Amino acid sequence: MTTSELSATTDAFRALARSSPWRWRTLHLRHRSGSRPGELQVEVEAWLTRPDGVRVAGADGRLLRPGVEGQRADGRATRPWVPPPAELRADGLVDRRADAYADDGLFWSSYHWVAMLDPVELSHHVRVEELREDEVAGRRAWRARLVAEEGYEPRCGGNCCELIYSQAGLHADFSDDLSRLPEAWRGRRYPDAYDTALDVGTGVVVRLHPLGGEADGPWLENDILEVDASFG
């Protein structure tokens, strides 16, 4: 089934969130993000090649040092990409992954970056509401209001780098014993939900904005420019 034939359903949205490592090999994007709405802290352009090719330039064009130790200076991958084992659905999306998190070596800056490229954490223990079709930077996207529920398992939780900044994300790092939660961290306020868009072709998070509540939350935007192109 081609991307244009996929239908936006809750099950398909969750499957798309699991599918990024199987849906692209190279990605060229423009990224913007901040720790609270209206505040732009990061603005970069990135060229990514699975499994470990990372080249990132600032808004001024200055090349920023990749965050992968031992990576080639030109930012190209050092080995071929072989997606990890997975069970695919009839529509080509991933039904089940052998490993929760694929090691594709695309870390830069923080695990929030890694999570947006492979948002498998949005595939379970996240309530999907108001799902609809959308277009982001000229590409088809599925957009929804997401609420993290207890049991949410971010790649890096504890209110560090989870995609959905939430109490459930905080609890993820203390799920074995919530009594270990530092007293100073209790009673934090969070957004009510996140307005989240996944690019249908790649499974990458292209929009992530906090909604409501009495607290600010981190946000991000990605404009995808090229998929599976050859980078020089």
**pLDDT digits (tens), the chain, 232 positions:** 567 689 999 999 999 999 999 999 999 999 999 999 999 999 999 999 998 889 999 989 888 855 444 455 566 777 888 888 999 999 999 999 988 887 788 999 999 999 999 999 999 999 999 999 999 999 999 999 999 999 999 999 889 999 999 999 998 877 767 777 777 778 889 999 999 999 999 999 999 999 999 888 999 999 999 999 987 5
**So what's the pLDDT on residue 1?**
57
**So what's the pLDDT on residue 80?**
84
Domains and CATH numbers, the chain: 3-227 (2.50.20)
Q: What is the distance between the alpha carbons of residues 44 and 57, in angstroms, rounded to a whole number?
A: 6
Residue 45, exposed/middle/buried by CB under 10 A (0-12, 13-18, 19+)?
A: middle
Could you tell me where the DSSP H helices lie in the chain?
A: 10-18, 20-23, 111-117, 167-171
CA distances from 168 to 101, 112, 131, 153 (A): 19, 16, 21, 8
Q: Which residues pair with 63 in a beta bridge?
A: 57
Q: What is the distance between the alpha carbons of residues 11 and 67, in angstroms, rounded to a whole number?
A: 34
Q: What is the distance between the alpha carbons of residues 170 and 155, in angstroms, rounded to a whole number?
A: 12
Q: What is the distance between the alpha carbons of residues 25 and 213, in angstroms, rounded to a whole number?
A: 37
CB 207 within 8 A of CB 217: no
**So what's the pLDDT on residue 67?**
40
Q: What is the distance between the alpha carbons of residues 96 and 28, in angstroms, rounded to a whole number?
A: 27
Q: Which residues pair with 20 in a beta bridge?
A: none
Supply 110's token pair.
């923080």
**So what's the pLDDT on residue 104?**
85
Q: What is the distance between the alpha carbons of residues 106 and 55, in angstroms, rounded to a whole number?
A: 10
**So what's the pLDDT on residue 68?**
43
